[in-house]
Structure 1
């Protein structure tokens, strides 16, 4: 690698007007200190029960108007774009290099300019520079493409894949490996500046590969075919001699590649030294978390690395004998001790207050002042905002991995709190963690709560998760004083709700007596609703926004909580109407099913005072049995829920069953349900499972009608 850094932007500025030249000069002077702000987003999309994958970018820009005209009218750097694109293809390598630098910086927190550059084929032009004869141009082109990936997300990554970016990237892997081996073996022999360039270049290449892996299954398979496991593991195994940011990027890429990807999983699991290395990284988390040094960003990256090691190990599990890890309870002994302190110590209110203080006293915009001397380092405001963002991304990463843990909770650990060793890090004490809900501290303490049998997850993580779903003033604010923070806060709320949804659905399916603690169930229910009230009206949320996602996932939490405490959640009129409105507004059957599930569990409240809510819910569900009005899954869930609601003819709800002539309505719906089940295509994705479930609902409905008729009531 050539490591001589060119001294200036040369003639790239000569073709710009004065205003554009000032803007580009600001960007160029700030290039090397700003690059690390474009750190890997830590927003690795995890598969959820809602919509699959999140947007892997710092600030989603789906709300922006489409088209080149809109981009031109909203960008204040329009005049700088065409000369920069032209200079990327210049015969002068100095101009090519600094044009790449300019692209990298013009897009920083500026999606309008990025979209304008996209319209000028900046992606294809930069990919062409990856085979440039000058290696410095290659380095800067890779940096610009990396930043485009992070800021642009799926759209740009798909364009890169379609324009065959993997071809030049594949040639870099052996070159980086060879140079890396030399630097690790003889670090003194290589100048520090040379090592820095190589490490940054490696990080850029790895991050592009990571982002491409998030784009589509086709791109994921293509990246997997590069056989990157030894390459990526070489960074992790040499982590004490390499920059932490580069190592963490390698871990993030490996984390993504090993998720539900058998070829890569098998390759990584086959070499036991890989597992040993990952275990060593995960087990160092206590030392990392106890360190309180000046390099806060570095500490956060070290914690993130431990979290990623946990995620990779979980992706590689299960491990079979004779592997020593085969006998280890991975979740309890390795993963939860790493994740629990990160999640429990997070304070979104503190993060919000810090951003407010930093932005209200910001000097971040002072560089834009014409003819002002531009510093070659980050301002205190930038450093502070970056630190907040890094901490939030670390929490989000921990939650994403915890989502999988919550989906496979262990069996209830009876008496675990009484028998656990005080030194057992798996029972991390969060008893002092306050609820972030108004009035929560004023609620009476249930003296029996600590004696209730429940999975060890509950005393460890329930309170922190309930705190993390509570919105702050910046969570959904548009425009935001710091968009990356707002984006991260929204993503944390979504991830925390996903954890709770998986946890309570798993708890509802497990045997145990958690439902006997009525106070606990009502408290969780009210806390979730407090968060939803803070999130605002779901009907006013843009589709795909964090606010809409919070509502769509939260109904799954409500369903799970209601399933654990069936018949014990007091229905409130406003909540019933909100769930009905949400169900009516959503076209996705999966979300509607969850809405119906949440309605059904509160309709079963065994108290005469809840008969009005029962009647309203039953009437609504009967309306969903009309053919053509709803999807098959929605119809099946409505039928199943009505059977559950009126399963006990001795319950107070029997009055509504008779007064509403529910039996006749259900009997009339039998043929419609039969036709709906018959129409399910087994060959479609999920069709076989849906067919099986539909047949069960159909048979149960027929049996229920027959039984009710036999009672003669």
Structure 2
């Protein structure tokens, strides 16, 4: 089993609010599906015009047009709106620059990685890096004497800082190339200055700085080193967690506290002489700060969102801008404000879950493979190598030497997490009936996924720790299947989040089944669902491995010998034979062979009758040559190849020994 992790190529937080993968590609398709096509050309023209007021209006109009409207966003992209807005970052009028940065910020948040990559490729960092020192200087002046500038000027600067910081945050998640470029800006002192002045500047700007700092400190050594180098930075983060919230009604107050906890966890272990260096960060800071957030009722949030959507936003009419072809004003109705607060609250819970997922993983991250450059490596010689395939692999006991206290606290998280995996009416709408409010739907489905990933790490840890006391595994098992029944199996463009939830849930099922081996009932419909999921995941070896591992555990219930036979026959079908290689692929095939060994390692088990009467020994024996061939073919130079080769050699040797053992029994 593997814990939920992010890859450097796709970082943990996805800034995209409303996925648009279901939309047809191409400018013509965007034009056909957008209801605002006629508004595009006037906006582009005004943005490049001589009138500063019209340029400002055009930048604001872009933000309004793209809100929850991916078709129009794609249409604007096709008209090079990104390049046009980047040009406006060097506009002679400050307000135009501010609004251009705001429009680019909103494009990042609504559009995700593709737009961020386009911005990076069009050199947005060139103007952005000039803004950082200017903002630092202005911030220092305002904080020294807030009377030096009128309130509206300060508001403009803080709004601009928010836009610039959010752009840097989103860009840093785009690619390693963009992250390395942003590392060169050495943003940590700049961002910390906003956190230190949080009592004097708007909460939105402070939160944006914390978000950016959280992302930069996530598995990024340069930023981590900068944070650890100054004890004042650590003290600032700790003080955020110790002081009472500024505004209990504003969800961003809670977000700031969650981010502070997350940043501290990112830079752990905290360096002395910080008073926190001796703390157990997860047990004493992260869990106490974040666990209360899990008590949110997603059903109530969904119902509130629907009520807000049903209210009449026309009660307050937006003011006329005086310009023709104008999109709606940026005025927000009470319903829109309420929906935005709900989304902020949901995103805070999502963030807390992501941090808890890391805290619940008490096993170390696997080390990256070292690429093998020796072209003359003797693949045949590996089969009889004297090297111990497990020589540099830690045993569970070695991997978690002091985790027992934390492990014992993990089951307390299970009950609230089981509530968070249950979909609401807004979580997974079918493509035929799109969500009435995509941002809420996006946030809800992200929470369900994050809760599953957190459960995955909890049960991985419980399965690895023989001293752990599991929760009521039967109730957990039933709750997972109830949730999956509500998620459904609809596939296709726009339904990717359903698939992601199933993938994460399968990891949890594997962990629960392992912890409760011999306890959970292998219900036929659930066994068939796992087999169908496995068969349908031909391109996802890891998902197939999870399904096989879960089936292995289900097969070991002494009261269901028939289910054992059904599962065994399925696993045997994945093995190679004299007629050809495994139809399942190398990694799933190795897991199937390993599972069969584990299932039938005890000849006194009630289900062993299936092994003897079904002729499984002969089938296993007939697979040995094919497994040896498959193991020799594993390319250790590919990503993950070294570990897979090691795993394959272990399974191969275990299978040969198991066959000899069963033969010697003479049963």
Residue correspondence of structure 1 range 264-279 to structure 2 within 5 A: 264-279=223-238
Residue correspondence of structure 1 range 143-182 to structure 2 within 5 A: 143-182=102-141
Counterpart position of 2:350: 396
Counterpart position of 1:92: 51
Superposed CA deviations along residues 640-682 of structure 1, whole A, max 9, x for unmatched, are 1111111111111111111221111111212222222222222
Matches of 1:660 and 1:50, distance apart in 2:
46
Q: Is 1:577 equivalent to 2:528 in the alignment?
A: yes
**Which residue of 324, 337, 346 corresponds with 2:275?**
324
TM-score (norm 2): 0.88
Superposed CA deviations along residues 162-216 of structure 1, whole A, max 9, x for unmatched, are 1111111111110010101111111122211011000010000110111111111
Question: How far is 1:543 from its partner?
Answer: 7.4
- In structure 1, stretches of 5+ residues that fail to align are 1-44, 417-425, 427-453
Report the more deviating stretch, 269-278 or 373-382: 373-382
Counterpart position of 1:312: 263
TM-score (norm 1): 0.82
Counterpart position of 2:447: 492
**Which residue of 73, 82, 105 corresponds with 2:41?**
82
Q: CA 1:584/1:376 → structure 2, altered by over 3 Å: closer, same or farther?
A: closer
Counterpart position of 1:475: 427
Question: How far is 1:467 from its partner?
Answer: 0.4
Question: How far is 1:622 from its partner?
Answer: 1.1
Question: How far is 1:140 from its partner?
Answer: 1.2
Q: SS at 2:408's partner residue?
A: coil
**Contact residue 663 and residue 708 of structure 1 kept, 8 A:** yes
Q: SS at 2:652's partner residue?
A: helix
Q: Is 1:456 equivalent to 2:409 in the alignment?
A: yes
Matches of 1:705 and 1:327, distance apart in 2:
52
**Which residue of 623, 628, 649 corresponds with 2:573?**
623
Counterpart position of 2:70: 111
Matches of 1:465 and 1:50, distance apart in 2:
28
Residue correspondence of structure 1 range 427-446 to structure 2 within 5 A: none
Counterpart position of 2:626: 672
Q: CA 1:370/1:329 → structure 2, altered by over 3 Å: closer, same or farther?
A: closer
Report the more deviating stretch, 374-383 or 94-103: 374-383
**Contact residue 57 and residue 151 of structure 1 kept, 8 A:** yes
Q: Is 1:558 equivalent to 2:506 in the alignment?
A: no
Superposed CA deviations along residues 223-242 of structure 1, whole A, max 9, x for unmatched, are 12211111111111111111
Q: Is 1:567 equivalent to 2:502 in the alignment?
A: no
Q: CA 1:88/1:678 → structure 2, altered by over 3 Å: closer, same or farther?
A: same
Residue correspondence of structure 1 range 485-634 to structure 2 within 5 A: 485-514=440-469, 520-537=472-489, 540=491, 542=493, 545-586=496-537, 587-607=539-559, 610-626=560-576, 627-634=581-588
Q: SS at 2:558's partner residue?
A: coil
Superposed CA deviations along residues 565-584 of structure 1, whole A, max 9, x for unmatched, are 11211100000000001011
**Contact residue 8 and residue 176 of structure 2 kept, 8 A:** no
Q: CA 1:541/1:561 → structure 2, altered by over 3 Å: closer, same or farther?
A: farther
**Which residue of 27, 48, 67 corresponds with 1:68?**
27
Residue correspondence of structure 1 range 360-439 to structure 2 within 5 A: 360-363=310-313, 377-408=331-362
Q: Is 1:683 equivalent to 2:637 in the alignment?
A: yes
Residue correspondence of structure 1 range 226-245 to structure 2 within 5 A: 226-245=185-204
Question: How far is 1:98 from its partner?
Answer: 1.6
Matches of 1:320 and 1:230, distance apart in 2:
18
**Contact residue 497 and residue 550 of structure 1 kept, 8 A:** yes
Counterpart position of 1:30: none
Q: CA 1:53/1:541 → structure 2, altered by over 3 Å: closer, same or farther?
A: farther
Q: SS at 1:455's partner residue?
A: helix
Matches of 1:691 and 1:322, distance apart in 2:
45
**Contact residue 64 and residue 330 of structure 2 kept, 8 A:** no
Superposed CA deviations along residues 596-641 of structure 1, whole A, max 9, x for unmatched, are 111111111122xx12211111111111123252222111111111
Matches of 2:55 and 2:150, distance apart in 1:
25
Counterpart position of 1:707: 661
Q: Is 1:640 equivalent to 2:591 in the alignment?
A: no
CA RMSD of aligned residues (A): 2.5
Counterpart position of 1:436: none
Question: How far is 1:375 from its partner?
Answer: 8.2
Residue correspondence of structure 1 range 224-263 to structure 2 within 5 A: 224-263=183-222
Counterpart position of 1:202: 161
Q: SS at 1:133's partner residue?
A: coil
Counterpart position of 2:604: 650
Name the count of aligned residue pairs.
616
Matches of 2:206 and 2:45, distance apart in 1:
35
**Contact residue 411 and residue 510 of structure 1 kept, 8 A:** no
Matches of 1:648 and 1:161, distance apart in 2:
59
Q: SS at 2:29's partner residue?
A: helix
Residue correspondence of structure 1 range 122-137 to structure 2 within 5 A: 122-137=81-96
**Contact residue 97 and residue 136 of structure 1 kept, 8 A:** yes
Matches of 1:629 and 1:529, distance apart in 2:
28
Q: CA 1:362/1:696 → structure 2, altered by over 3 Å: closer, same or farther?
A: farther
- In structure 2, stretches of 5+ residues that fail to align are 364-399
Q: SS at 1:240's partner residue?
A: coil
Superposed CA deviations along residues 383-420 of structure 1, whole A, max 9, x for unmatched, are 22112111111111111111101112888988x8xxxx
Q: CA 1:368/1:212 → structure 2, altered by over 3 Å: closer, same or farther?
A: same
Q: CA 1:76/1:542 → structure 2, altered by over 3 Å: closer, same or farther?
A: closer
Q: SS at 1:350's partner residue?
A: helix
Larger RCO: 1 or 2 (CA < 8 Å, sep 6+): 2
Superposed CA deviations along residues 253-277 of structure 1, whole A, max 9, x for unmatched, are 1111111111111111111111111
